[in-house]
Amino acid sequence: MQEKQTGTAYFKHQARRLSELEDYRTECISRGKKPQRYVIEKVIALSKLEFENFSFDLLMPRQFIADNIPLMTVDANNFWHCLLVVQKGNEDIGILVECRKKQAPTYTALYKKQEFKLAEQAENGGAI
């Protein structure tokens, strides 16, 4: 069984667009805010058009979110169990989604694969 991917990110409550998540992340870093720890429970790969539509309107109800609500929670160790939504063929940037009661994301965060690799490399003493 493959180990689930973990990391840290800045989750924003009811962000409307991917660009808002990018701005929020930059603001959090500049203010020294501590990021939340997450576990990716499932990756959802959308077509280019579906991903663009999702990233421009994050508050719109989505069936793929409703279908996976049982996977999303915050556990006793304060890990956010979430979905990673990416564009097929371009998994370097995505949107982490945490939602427990409705079809639209409650909390979202920017995901950058390169940053995950750098964090993993630091944890492993410089080797990936």
Could you list the pLDDT tens digit for every one of the 128 residues in the chain? 567 899 999 999 999 999 999 999 999 999 999 999 999 999 999 999 999 999 999 999 999 999 999 999 999 999 999 999 999 998 888 999 999 777 778 999 999 876 544 444 444 444 33
The b/e string for 53-79 (b: 16+ C-beta within 10 A; e otherwise) is: ebbeebeeebeebeebeeebebeeeee
What would the two tokens of residue 118 be? 């750098």
| Gap between the Cα atoms of 97 and 122, Å rounded | 25
Domain ranges of the chain: 6-114
Question: What was the pLDDT predicted at 95?
Answer: 97
Strands 79-87 and 73-74: antiparallel
Question: What was the pLDDT predicted at 103?
Answer: 76
φ/ψ of residue 103, rounded to 5: -80, -10
- Report which of 92, 100, 82 is spatially closest to residue 36, judged by C-alpha positions: 82
Structure pTM?
0.85
